[in-house]
Amino acid sequence: MSATQNVFVGREQLSSNWILGKLGVVNDRHMHQEAIKALSDLGIKIPSLNATVRSMSGGQRQCLAIARAMLFGHKVIILDEPTAALGVHESAQVLSVVDQLRSKGLAILIVSHNMQHVFKITDSITVMRLGASVASRKTNETSPEEIVGLITGAISG
């Protein structure tokens, strides 16, 4: 599956030609142009949108998934450990994309144990332990030490 196909999976755009559209012919050119625009708007660099997703790095795959969510008008994006299996460069790429989405007004919920990333890209932090919310803090009014204490139960919320 190519990057373009991945971005539009399940939402393929049919040909605008009445007959071809009724026959289910996909408008690859239009989808390719839309994918280029979406990725460009987020500053995502993919060498070739025709390359298979399998051949892409973890960071590129994660960025494709984020672009797919953004492209289809989602107002809230939930990311579960978005940088967990990524290297430093790939993590920075994903965090940059998340920051750009924030600047566009999208709400982003991130589940992460990486305090450095959490403090870099969040406005507020909610700590959950054993399935319950134990505390919420504004990022600029707390510290990594306090958040870790809340996570471990060393500090009560």
Rounded CA separation 19/139 (Å): 55
**How many whole angstroms separate alpha carbon 61 and alpha carbon 38?**
14
Question: CB 120: neighbour CB atoms within 10 A?
Answer: 13
pLDDT in tens, 69-96: 888 777 888 999 988 888 888 898 889 9
Give the type of residue at 56. Answer: M
Q: How far is CA 1 from CA 7, 15, 17, 61, 69, in A?
A: 10, 20, 25, 12, 18
Residue 5 to residues 35, 37, 70, 73, Cα–Cα distance (Å): 9, 14, 15, 18
Predicted TM-score of the model (pTM): 0.74
pLDDT of residue 71: 81
Set out the domains of the chain in order of their start, with CATH numbers. Answer: 3-122 (3.40.50.300)
Q: Are 32 and 49 in contact (CB under 8 A)?
A: yes
Mean pLDDT of the chain: 89
Alpha carbon distances (Å) from 144 to 61, 78, 92: 29, 22, 19
Instruction: Tell the burial category of 58 from Cβ atoms under 10 Å away from its Cβ (0-12, 13-18, 19+).
Output: middle
Whether the predicted pLDDT of 148 surpasses 90: yes
pLDDT of residue 25 exceeding 80, the answer is yes
